Structure 1
């Protein structure tokens, strides 16, 4: 019983930051166009993480794209700017997206 509780507690600690960042993505309306594991209007977050895995500059680039928008990387539909997302939130969202497997 103790072991099961320890495993449950460890799982909660590991998954809590991911849930908090997903909550931020929902609060900033990112999930209107993106999903964690399937393409909607924009690419799935897991596909973004896979594309930029190992790229040391990806977090900064994605944070900028989150705020300023972009086009041409994932198809013809542009990503609009998100001025409601501040610098710290953009960095947090980019780090979360890149952490997905």
Structure 2
């Protein structure tokens, strides 16, 4: 019993002495950053039509470059010249939907999109022709 108390006493003193030990925090030299050394980040600007497309469900079937369920925006731009007539035609297709031009899968109508917003979306899509 005395031996156990002696071992517990020595152990608690040892643990207490370790808890009092606190290593000095390592300090690193301060780094000064000069404003000219920081590169300026280019801000991306989206057109109104692109913003409307990104907010809508269009991205579920269409992609800017790759064909998904529907054609890519760049493929649409290749097929239709960027004219007012084609902007109105595509705006009408966005609102009313359509089928047969790009295959058997129909495009769902989007009656909640206003004609002016649909025209902005079509104008953006047709601007992607390279």
Quote the residue 2:115 is aligned against: 87
1:35 alignment counterpart: 63
The match for 1:67 is: 95
Larger relative helix fraction: 1
CA apart distance, 1:57: 1.9
Q: Which consecutive segments of 4 or more residues in structure 1 shift more than 4 A? A: none
User: 1:90 deviation in Å?
Assistant: 0.3
Q: Which runs of 5+ in 1 are unaligned?
A: none
**Structure having the higher Rg:** 2
CA RMSD of aligned residues (A): 2.0
Instruction: Name the CA distance, whole Å, in 2 between partners of 1:54 and 1:81.
Output: 22
Number of equivalent positions: 91
| Kept after mapping to 2: 8 A contact 1:28/1:84 | no
Could you tell me whether the CA contact under 8 Å between 2:82 and 2:126 is conserved in 1? no
Q: 1:76 aligns with which of 93, 100, 104?
A: 104
Note the C-alpha offset of 1:16: 2.0
Say if 1:70 and 1:78, in contact at 8 Å, map to a contact too: yes
Q: 5+ residue gaps in structure 2?
A: 1-35
Paired residue for 2:53? 25
Q: Which residue number corresponds to residue 20 of structure 2?
A: none
